[in-house]
């Protein structure tokens, strides 16, 4: 099976990846990157492609989906951070704590 082949994934996993991909694209991520992240999330949640057979299933961990979009970075813009830093510097200068 070549790399990137999605034939071993269930229909549910494919739907999940599609939905996750749409969410990334809605937030401004490029198509290729959104697709890559979506499949990485599905793999992390479900343990990769599912194979049939009794007792081969594993519980799904939905933590990677909850974490998406919240990992890293600051909620402030660069201008807001800069303004806050300047304000703090002025306050420390005025109070003699610099």
**pLDDT, tens digit only, all 98 positions of the chain:** 678 888 888 899 999 999 999 999 999 999 999 999 999 999 988 888 876 666 677 788 888 777 665 556 667 788 999 999 999 999 999 988 75
Q: Left, alpha or beta for 45 (phi > 0: left; psi -120 to 50: alpha)?
A: alpha
Entry pTM: 0.60
């Amino acid at each position: 099976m070549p790399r990137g082949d999605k034939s071993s994934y269930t229909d549910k996993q494919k739907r999940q990846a599609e939905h996750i991909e749409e969410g990334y694209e809605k937030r401004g991520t490029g198509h290729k990157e959104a697709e890559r992240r979506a499949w990485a999330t599905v793999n992390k949640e479900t343990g990769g492609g599912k194979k049939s057979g009794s007792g081969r299933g594993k519980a799904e961990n939905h933590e990677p989906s909850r974490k998406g979009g919240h990992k890293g970075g600051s909620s402030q813009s660069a201008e807001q951070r800069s303004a806050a830093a300047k304000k703090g510097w002025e306050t420390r200068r005025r109070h003699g704590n610099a």
